Amino acid sequence: MRDFSGAVWHVPALGLEPGELPPTGAVVDVSARAAAPRQADRTIAEIAGRSGGVYSDDLHAARDPGASAAFRLAHKRRLEALRMRGVVTRRPDGTWDVPADYLERAATLEAVRGGGVSIKVRSWMALEAQVMARAETWLDGPDAAGVSNAAAELMELRAARTAFLREKGFLQPGQTRLSEADRQRLRAGELARVAAIEAAGSDRQSVSAATGASFEGRFERVVDLAQGRMALIGTEKMFALVPWRREMERYRGEALVIEAKGSGIGWTLSAGRTRDLGR
């Protein structure tokens, strides 16, 4: 990767799943990975703590009847990965012995996963493509304006982006930042254009759930927009674009239920647990 001062860095991405890898040109933050266990580790430790240091699928189902088989399977896969690192042991009957210091050891492994670095995507769209995008982009936000020691290239891109927004009427004379109304208009316009292209190409209808409504379909693929990565959930006749989260990746190809709530968009596996996607 190349930073904004022009220096080239080689950053390990061993901890990222294939669906999490940012595309070429994406804007990312790289930092030291914090030593913290995953939420799945906390669930495993809680169940084992109540069961004399033992975890099993049956114990998990009893503790959380709403947890789907696929959700519980993800916890067993986590335990299997940690078994290979010597953190837990598996009994012949399929149950697991979880040590008292499980969370500490899991956190230590998380800290070194992927070479000990954390990669957070700030924009899934390349900087050059953002300049003339009819969308809200990373270049429009405070992160781009706040880059210290920015290279001349970034300053030129920001200037070109500002000129484009003025030309298209999104910035008035003397105005240096987009209004919230224009940001919303750009986001809605980008989503509508991408949905129209998908509808024409797949001969399907685009749907957007109103608050309280739901839509069920298969997680087909991701679509990278200036406003973020979206998951395309579809059926034979309809599809929906919803905010993507890394937790969804293990369920790519499976049926998900998407529900619009007051707090944003949530998703579940069929008869599974709800996950919040945010607004």
Sign of CA dihedral 268, 273, 274, 277: negative
HSE-up of residue 216 (Cα within 13 Å, Cβ side): 7
Q: How many CB atoms lie within 10 A of CB 44?
A: 25
Give the mean model confidence (pLDDT) for residues 202-214: 81
Hey, what amino acid is at 126?
A: A
- Distance from the first to the final alpha carbon of the chain: 30
Q: CB neighbours of 143 closer than 8 A, spacing ≥ 6?
A: 122
pLDDT in tens, 142-174: 888 777 666 788 889 999 999 999 999 999 888
Domain boundaries, the chain: 203-276
Give the pLDDT of residue 274. Answer: 47
pLDDT in tens, 62-90: 999 888 888 899 899 999 999 999 999 99
Instruction: Looking at the chain, list the stretches that DSSP marks H as alpha helix, in order from N- to C-terminal side.
Output: 39-49, 57-63, 69-83, 102-112, 127-130, 142-145, 152-167, 180-202
Q: Rounded to 5 degrees, what are φ and ψ at 122?
A: -95, -30
% pLDDT > 70, the chain: 85
Give the pLDDT of residue 135. Answer: 96
pLDDT in tens, 246-266: 888 878 888 999 887 766 778
pLDDT in tens, 119-150: 788 899 999 999 999 999 999 988 887 776 66
Confidence of residue 278 (pLDDT cuts 50, 70, 90): very low
Give the pLDDT of residue 47. Answer: 96
pLDDT in tens, 21-62: 788 888 887 777 777 888 899 999 999 999 999 999 999 999
Give the pLDDT of residue 32. Answer: 72
Give the mean model confidence (pLDDT) for residues 214-219: 91
> What pTM did the predictor assign?
0.68
Higher-scoring residue by pLDDT: 115, 60: 60
Q: Cα 236 from chain centroid? A: 25
Among the four given CATH numbers 2.40.50, 2.60.40, 2.60.120, 3.40.1350, the one describing domain 203-276: 2.40.50
Confidence of residue 176 (pLDDT cuts 50, 70, 90): confident
What are 224's two structure tokens?
Answer: 């990278």
